[in-house]
Amino acid sequence: MSLDIDQIALHQLIKRDEQTLELVLRDSLLPANATVEAMVEELHRVYSAKSKAYGLFNEESELADALRQCRKGEDDFLAFSRAATGRLRDELAKYPFAEGGIVLFCHYRYLAVEYLLVTVLSSQSSMRVNEELDISTTHYLDIHHADIVARIDLTEWETNPESTRYLTFLRGRVGRKVADFFMDFLGASVGLDTKAQNRGLLQAVDDYCAESSLDKNERQNYRQQVYSYCNEQLQAGEEIALQDLSNELPPLGEKNFQTFTQEQGYALEESFPADRGTLRQLTKFAGSGGGLTLNFDAMLLGERIFWDPTTDTLTIKGTPPNLRDQLQRRTSGN
Answer yes or no: is pLDDT of 35 > 50.
yes
| pLDDT, tens digit, 9 for 90 and up, residues 254-264 | 889 999 999 99
- Computed over every residue of the chain, the mean pLDDT equals 88
What element of type H or E holds 62? Answer: helix 62-71
Residue that wins the pLDDT comparison between 223 and 50: 223
* Helices (H), ranges, 237-304: 242-248, 257-264, 276-279
Other C-beta atoms lying within 10 Å of the C-beta of residue 263: 9
Whole-prediction pTM = 0.76
Distances, alpha carbon 176 to alpha carbons 148, 196, 218, 318, 320, in Å: 12, 18, 40, 41, 38
Highest mean pLDDT among 12-16, 240-244, 292-296: 240-244
| Minimum mean pLDDT range among 73-77, 322-326, 330-334 | 330-334
Average pLDDT over residues 39-54: 89
d(CA 225, CA 283): 10
Distance in angstroms (rounded) separating the CA atoms of residues 258 and 264? 10
